[in-house]
Amino acid sequence: MNTLYYINNKDIGNVDYNFYDPNTFGMDIYEEPCTLIKSNSDFRNKVNKNIKCRGTWCINETYNCILHKTTECYSVEYIIDTNGEEFINSKCKQIAGNLVMSYGRWNSQLDMLSKYDYDFNIDEKTAVYSKERIGEIRNIIIKCNPDCIETSSTPNNNTYNIKDHDIITFTIVLLIFLSLCVIFYIIKNIINICSEILCRARYERQHVFSINVV
């Protein structure tokens, strides 16, 4: 499952920074990527001071948004979702190294996707940002907050190629299929046995009738 925006734009990629602006990664803007970000506006202001916006969703060459149109601009995105399953303590992820300016509508759809299934969320981000970048961000989070790794559900290989729920679903489907095969086999045997009994009874009835006639 993917966001609607990703489905409609994945083929063209990040042309004109329509997904995100690669110049705005917090790890590149801040001298110290472990800097705690207390609010989205703090990060937005920092980006505006250092970079002139040139992407698709700029507002007057800035990363600001127009009131009531907060999805049609660049918004602050926590790449490793603060509400996601990785690094249970959300404070571990509230650092500059985990931030970037991304398209507001896509960001909003990603938030909804994360609430439905976090794996789908991180898979889509990995496809857009690259596995290497996602891995780099995870390492920054752990480096900045060594204790966070104890509450992290992040796989050691930083990939989600096989999902636990996919394995469970496949197992359930396989068990149902095998159960149906067994039931079908039993029913088939019962039908054959019944048919054989009926044929034998019919034959014996005919045989008895023939003897009586004689």
pLDDT digits (tens, 9 = 90+) for 44-89: 999 999 999 999 999 999 999 988 788 999 999 999 998 888 887 8
The pLDDT score that the predictor gives to residue 163 is 47
pLDDT of the residue at 14: 95
In which residue ranges of the chain is pLDDT below 70? Answer: 150-167, 201-214
Instruction: Provide the pLDDT for residue 162.
Output: 40
Q: Are 99 and 37 in contact (CB under 8 A)?
A: yes
Q: What is the pLDDT of residue 103?
A: 97
pLDDT of residue 47: 97
